[in-house]
Amino acid sequence: MPLPDPVTAVVDIIRTAIPEAVVGTLVPDQLAEHLPYIHISQTGGPITSASARGGLHREAARLVISVWAAPDPAAARGLARRVLAALLAVRAQRVSGGVLVRTHVEAAPAFLPDDHAPAGVFRYVATVTTHIH
């Protein structure tokens, strides 16, 4: 049985928790038309062997969460913190194809200028590890 996709699980959780934002895995060409925008990508993380408790394979997926919002940096930072709060609230929740056990914040939201973003649009980036089986 394949492991559930952690990116899909996180996208679904954030779409439900923050319905006013656009959430996706590809940054749109016309970013200003899709604000606020939340981008999720997986950058690594190991798949562990069967655990002693139930023989389940688990994935500790490292995800980068990028948030663009206007009209000021506080809007982007606030949205990034809402994303993290939504993920941290999930404990052993059934998600598409599996169970999201927990999320751990590796790097809190940090301002990361985006030279390609329109004027007045700001980006904050955070890194999390999700544990899923």
- Identity at 116, one-letter amino acid code: H
Q: Domains of the chain (ranges plus CATH)?
A: 6-132 (3.30.2000.10)
Mean per-residue pLDDT, 90-112: 93
Global pTM reads 0.91
- β-pairing, 37-44 vs 122-132, is unpaired
Sequence-distant contacts of 41-44: CB under 8 A, at least 24 apart: 41/7, 41/66, 42/6, 42/7, 43/127
At 76, list the tokens: 């982007």
Which two three-digit tokens encode residue 25? 């895995």
Q: What size, in residues, is the chain?
A: 133
Give residue 133's pLDDT.
87
Q: Which two tokens stand for residue 103?
A: 């999320």
Query: What is the pLDDT averaged over residues 42-48?
Result: 81
